[in-house]
Structure 1
């Protein structure tokens, strides 16, 4: 079974060589290819990718600039892929040795899989304190409110025909399209399996403005998911739950003055701001 590794990218000149270098050292008994889907980069990302044509025979570069977003880039990458199975990874992460072989093997047994994330290799120590280290021993749990498990889009593998049958990633979702994707696939009757032998070194946001932006956008799109999946079994949140969280955030506001706790507090604050923004934009109470 041939595996296609699809990498969406956008202005990733600082990191994509690390990912492609890691892929160039991968070994797999089954045939595989790499498809880089460029979402309209204006830096020298593609110049760097071109330098790997000899190291990665069969490397494909796809122009996916007509619509912004990782969802569109991934979908276009899959359309250009020739493998029966697809493995997604990101241009700012780094696959560990054996990742391709482990994903290929997993997809020979299962239709939908997610690999393990490792946090220490690519991240400075302070960044490891503001986010939970999810997807190290199993799938990510969705807890607010409890629903189906999910996994990062940069860790997923799927049979190509299933991706096509569900319509791929939702291109209207600029964030959390991977959570939406995982839920769509599972609601179609396909189980998501965790693959601990396949490991990706995951990169966190490493500036305070970037982590605040990410947290705010995730909060906003979580509200959209809440609205979108109400009719498919997602439980309702108690009206007061968000107010309780806001009280906790306000009470911990002195953490803003602490170098030890500042990043975590800012993440939680920005996430709540994003949820409030989502409630106003999508006209649903989901604090």
Structure 2
């Protein structure tokens, strides 16, 4: 395993689609966090607004910021693969547009990676509330228990993930055929290949919670579709298509129960609704989805 004791040899990959404000916030956060800036690869996934122009302006002003385009395959995993393909670092860090980081996020994560002697590292994700809505508070309570993901399912979300380059060279890239769940599929592949995985509690990434019912429902619908796709491509690992997974209850924690009985009741209804959205997504994909022969399987 190659050690990375300083910031040299590290790259940050950020996929983005139609989010000029979010990517500006993320790049500004990164540029203000390092004395010796890392390589920042921003991959525009075929945006139809001015997102690419915004990134280009940053790239023109900052030599460590690079604009890449993934216009052939629509999907965040394809965009991450494009970034990984062009990255020069020995350690690749993945975050999402609209996120911000602590000033010492990357330094802390790299230190944890070396101290734990791991090849794959998940970071702490703290959900923030852009606006105080019931849906936002529900999402903040139920989202991204990264430590549990690693312990129980052997993956970390790609919004806060560090991976050594040699891992990609061995197990292959993210599966860009998947609309959702590619982070779990990749993480399990890494685990099955024998690579050590770790978690950095003190390396924090800040992710805005989804504050509207439509945004949260769309996300859960996409998650349902993604699981059915994983069964379609990996039935030996995820089960036969047509049999949906047992609800996991990710993020539920009795210690975080809201004080108000009315709020608890609303959260319970939201949980049922989001589970239904996942089910609708699953069976929509099962009924209408097809194998994507136009998109390559993961490659080394």
Query: d(CA) in 2 for partners of 1:236 and 1:79?
Result: 32
Aligned equivalent of 2:118, options 93, 110, 113: 110
Map 1:86-101; keep pairs closer than 5 Å. 86-101=92-107
Q: Which residue of 2 aligns with 1:83?
A: 89
Query: d(CA) in 2 for partners of 1:49 and 1:179?
Result: 29
Q: 1:236 to 1:46 in 2, by over 3 A?
A: closer
Map 1:48-63; keep pairs closer than 5 Å. 48-53=54-59, 56-63=62-69
Q: Which residue of 2 aligns with 1:153?
A: 158
Aligned equivalent of 2:14, options 1, 7, 31: 7
Q: Which residue of 2 aligns with 1:204?
A: 209
Q: Which runs of 5+ in 2 are unaligned?
A: 250-261, 291-300
Instruction: Work out whether 1:35 is the aligned partner of 2:41.
Output: yes
Map 1:126-165; keep pairs closer than 5 Å. 126=134, 127-130=136-139, 132-135=142-145, 138-140=147-149, 148-165=153-170
**Which TM-score applies when normalising by structure 1?**
0.79
Instruction: Work out whether 1:124 is the aligned partner of 2:132.
Output: yes
CA deviations over 1:230-284 (Å, ceiling 9, x no partner): 424x5789x79869x9xxxxxxxxx9xx86655433212211222333444579x
Instruction: Work out whether 1:21 is the aligned partner of 2:31.
Output: no
Tell whether the 8 Å contact from 1:85 to 1:107 is kept in structure 2 after alignment. no
| Residue 195 (structure 1) shift | 1.0
CA deviations over 1:124-174 (Å, ceiling 9, x no partner): 3421214613326x14169xxxx6322211111101121132221101112
Structure 1 consecutive aligned stretches of length 4 or more whose deviation exceeds 6 Å: 239-243
Query: d(CA) in 2 for partners of 1:241 and 1:161?
Result: 32
Q: Which residue of 2 aligns with 1:65?
A: 71
Query: d(CA) in 2 for partners of 1:9 and 1:242?
Result: 31
Query: d(CA) in 1 for partners of 2:231 and 2:196?
Result: 21
Query: d(CA) in 1 for partners of 2:244 and 2:157?
Result: 29
RMSD of the alignment, in Å?
Answer: 3.1
Query: d(CA) in 2 for partners of 1:240 and 1:111?
Result: 31
Query: d(CA) in 2 for partners of 1:222 and 1:20?
Result: 31
Tell whether the 8 Å contact from 1:107 to 1:158 is kept in structure 2 after alignment. no
Question: Aligned residues, how many?
Answer: 263
Q: 1:267 to 1:220 in 2, by over 3 A?
A: same
Query: d(CA) in 2 for partners of 1:104 and 1:28?
Result: 15
Query: d(CA) in 2 for partners of 1:102 and 1:27?
Result: 12
